[in-house]
């Protein structure tokens, strides 16, 4: 009788389904993992027969102790969960996480030739559950590894909010002496199309070869092939697709580097990253109970939506078009609510909430001097004119400034502190 983990052929209706038998989740269905990595559920009442193809072979976990190699750099891998270091245990159906150096090198043996690996779990969580406290925790763990002699730190992270975390660490970690690279995986590690290995190996290769780099960055696929990855600015990148392996793109800038991990070639595109600092590494943490909002403008808005943020320390309004436009113009009988919206925003600003604009277009730069709406927004006390920050980075920056530079928030929000604002936007940086 076939058991979970066995490879089987299931004669189902008029077709034959072949794959690995999964644990039973529902007594009316049989679940199979296909070679593509996807799972399929088959109704048992339509199963004609099941044939064994191959019995499950229990894999032996790596127990060989990792030895260091002279001449190789030391890279610390800090795990926050996600799919990179996980495999499915077909006996239990659970995803088994592997975090020790021995287990990581067993899964990704290419790393042995690149660096001496230190690896540990710091938090096992979904990325959508991240809070300011987690950014502070990660910053402390990064500092611990650097003080312990690591030549670079890789953080494995869920992709959904990875660019929030990369921006947060860009601001929180000051005077970095080594690279800090965030790596995610769009496809789970037990799928043939997984991008986990390529992303992780590319990040390690970059750290081992770029001695002049000391910044926070993101390493993900350049395209849907498995040949190259890109190193992206931690404050100017964004997840732009829900499932593609090349979901992360540079915004209003170019990638810093393209890495061909198979050929071990690194192509430098830009060197506007931070170089190793001789000053002492410092952490400028986030205030963990701080309230900062990120609000998206849409049609048919009401003043109550803006009044909700009364008592918040800051608010990023993700408006429309070139000015990050907000509905504040009363043009006819149908738009009387817009006057109430304008008054609600003005009241927020007067109460002490720092209100800044970003644009939903993602690409491009805010210019509040083009149209009447933008000029009215400035009169209401909204800041952000001429900036090209993406909304998520603007949100993180505002929260960090309110945590560390409360008396100079408005002034510093307008200044480039961590590469988050470009002096000029080149046309080549659109959809690169």
Long-range contacts of 370-375 (CB under 8 A, 24+ apart): 370/322, 370/323, 371/322, 371/323, 371/325, 372/329, 373/323, 373/325, 373/326, 373/328, 373/329, 374/322, 374/323, 374/324, 374/325
311-320: pLDDT as tens digits: 999 999 999 9
Residues 30 and 103 in one domain: no
233 in a domain, yes or no?
Answer: yes
Give the C-alpha distances (Å, rounded to integers) separating 187 from 193, 210, 372.
Answer: 7, 28, 46
State which of 283, 301, 327 marks the end of a domain.
Answer: 283
- Residue 121 CA to residue 112 CA, distance in Å, equals 20
User: What average pLDDT does the segment 285-304 reach?
Assistant: 98
- Rounded to the nearest 10 degrees, the angle between the axes of helix 391-404 and helix 162-172 is 30
pLDDT at 58 over 90: no
Based on the domain organization, do 103 and 219 belong to the same domain?
A: yes
Residue 246 and residue 322 share a domain: no
Residue-wise pLDDT for 228-268, tens only, equals 999 999 999 999 999 999 999 999 999 999 999 999 999 99
Q: In what order do the strands lie in the sheet with 47-54?
A: 39-43, 29-33, 15-21, 7-12, 47-54
Judge whether 391 lies within some domain: yes
**Predicted pLDDT at 62:** 47
28 domain residue, yes or no:
yes
Q: Does 323 lie in the same domain as 232? A: no
The answer on 223 and 187 residing in a single domain is: yes
- Above 70 in pLDDT, residue 385? yes
**410 carries an active-site annotation:** no
Out of 33, 239, 376, 397, which one is annotated catalytic?
A: 239
- The domain that holds 39 is classified in CATH as 2.30.30.520
124 in the same domain as 236:
yes
CATH label of the domain that carries residue 397: 3.40.50.40
Are 333 and 389 found together in one domain?
A: yes
Question: Which residue is catalytic, options 74, 80, 83, 254?
Answer: 83
- What is the DSSP secondary structure assignment for residue 239, as one 8-state letter? E
Residue 63 included in any domain: no
Res. 418: pLDDT tops 90: yes
Last residue of a domain, one of 250, 283, 316: 283
CB atoms within 10 A of CB 271: 11
Instruction: Name the more confident of 82 and 28.
Output: 28
Q: Which of 50, 156, 159, 257 is catalytic?
A: 159
Catalytic member of 6, 89, 160, 227: 160
Residues 139 and 173 in one domain: yes
Give the C-alpha separation, 217 to 268, whole Å: 14
| Least confident residue range of 50-64, 139-153, 375-389 | 50-64
Question: What gap in Å lies between CA 289 and CA 410, rounded to an integer?
Answer: 20
For residues 170 and 83, state if they share a domain. yes
Per-residue pLDDT at 281 = 98
Q: CATH code at 266?
A: 3.40.50.1170
Mean pLDDT of 325-339: 98
Q: How far is CA 289 from the centre of its chain?
A: 22
pLDDT value of position 346? 98
Q: For this structure, is 271 an active site residue? A: no
Query: Is 83 labeled as catalytic in the residue annotation?
Result: yes
CB-based contact 359:319 (threshold 8 Å): yes
**Inter-CA distances, 81 with 132, 156, 214, 361, Å:** 17, 7, 24, 31
Select from 222, 254, 283 the last residue of a domain.
283
In a domain, 399, yes or no: yes
Is residue 426 assigned to a domain? no
**Tokens 């060989």 found at:** 64
Looking at the domain assignment, is residue 422 inside a domain? no
Residues 269 and 224 in one domain: yes
Its domain, for residue 32, covers 7-54
Q: Are residues 241 and 378 in the same domain?
A: no
Q: How confident is the model at residue 104 (pLDDT cuts 50, 70, 90)?
A: confident
Is residue 110 a part of any domain in this protein?
yes
Exposure string of 336-351, with b = 16+ CB inside 10 Å and e = fewer, is eebebbbebbbebeee
- Classify residue 289 by burial, with Cβ atoms within 10 Å: 0-12, 13-18, 19+: exposed
Question: What is the structure's pLDDT at 97?
Answer: 60
Among 119-123, 156-160, 331-335, name the most confident range. 331-335
| Active site annotation includes 159 | yes
How confident is the model at residue 204, as a pLDDT?
97
pLDDT band at 81 (very low <50, low <70, confident <90, very high): confident
272 lies in the same domain as 302? no
Domains identified in the chain, total number = 3
């Amino acid at each position: 009788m076939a058991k979970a983990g066995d490879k089987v052929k299931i004669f189902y209706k008029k077709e034959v389904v072949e794959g690995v038998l999964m644990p039973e989740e529902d007594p009316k269905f049989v679940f199979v993992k296909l070679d593509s990595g996807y799972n399929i559920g088959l109704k048992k009442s339509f199963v004609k027969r099941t044939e064994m193809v191959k019995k499950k072979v229990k894999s032996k976990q790596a127990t060989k102790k990792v030895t260091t190699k002279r001449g190789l750099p030391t890279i610390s891998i800090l795990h926050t969960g996600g799919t990179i270091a996980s495999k499915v245990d077909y006996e239990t159906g659970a995803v088994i996480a592997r975090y020790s150096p021995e287990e990581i090198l067993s899964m990704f043996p290419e790393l042995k030739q690149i660096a001496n690996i230190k690896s540990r779990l710091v938090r096992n969580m979904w990325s959508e559950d991240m809070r300011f406290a987690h950014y502070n925790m990660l910053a402390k763990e990064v500092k611990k590894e650097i003080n312990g002699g690591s030549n670079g730190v890789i953080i494995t992270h869920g992709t959904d909010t990875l660019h929030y975390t990369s921006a947060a660490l860009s601001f929180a970690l000051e005077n970095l002496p080594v690279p800090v690279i965030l790596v995610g995986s769009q496809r789970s590690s037990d799928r043939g199309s997984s991008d986990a290995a390529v992303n992780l190996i590319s990040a390690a290769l970059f750290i081992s070869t770029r001695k002049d780099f000391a910044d926070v960055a993101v390493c993900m696929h350049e395209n849907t092939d498995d040949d190259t990855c890109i190193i992206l600015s931690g404050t100017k990148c964004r997840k732009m697709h829900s499932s593609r392996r090349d979901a992360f793109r540079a915004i209003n800038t170019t990638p810093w580097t393209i890495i061909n991990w198979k050929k071990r070639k690194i192509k430098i595109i830009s060197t506007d990253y931070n170089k190793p600092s001789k000053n002492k590494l410092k952490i400028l943490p986030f205030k963990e109970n701080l309230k900062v909002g990120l609000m998206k403008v849409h049609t048919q808005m009401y003043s109550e939506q803006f009044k909700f943020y009364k008592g918040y320390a800051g608010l990023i309004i993700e408006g429309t078009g070139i000015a990050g436009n907000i509905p504040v113009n009363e043009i006819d009988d149908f738009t009387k609510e817009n006057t109430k919206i304008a008054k609600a925003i003005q009241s927020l600003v007067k109460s002490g909430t720092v209100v800044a604009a970003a644009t939903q277009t993602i690409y491009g730069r805010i210019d509040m001097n083009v149209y009447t709406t933008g000029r009215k927004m400035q009169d209401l006390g909204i800041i952000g004119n001429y900036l090209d920050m993406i909304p998520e980075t603007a949100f993180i920056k505002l929260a960090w400034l309110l945590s560390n530079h409360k008396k100079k928030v408005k002034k510093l929000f307008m200044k480039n502190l961590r590469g988050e604002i470009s002096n000029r936007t080149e046309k080549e940086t659109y959809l690169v």
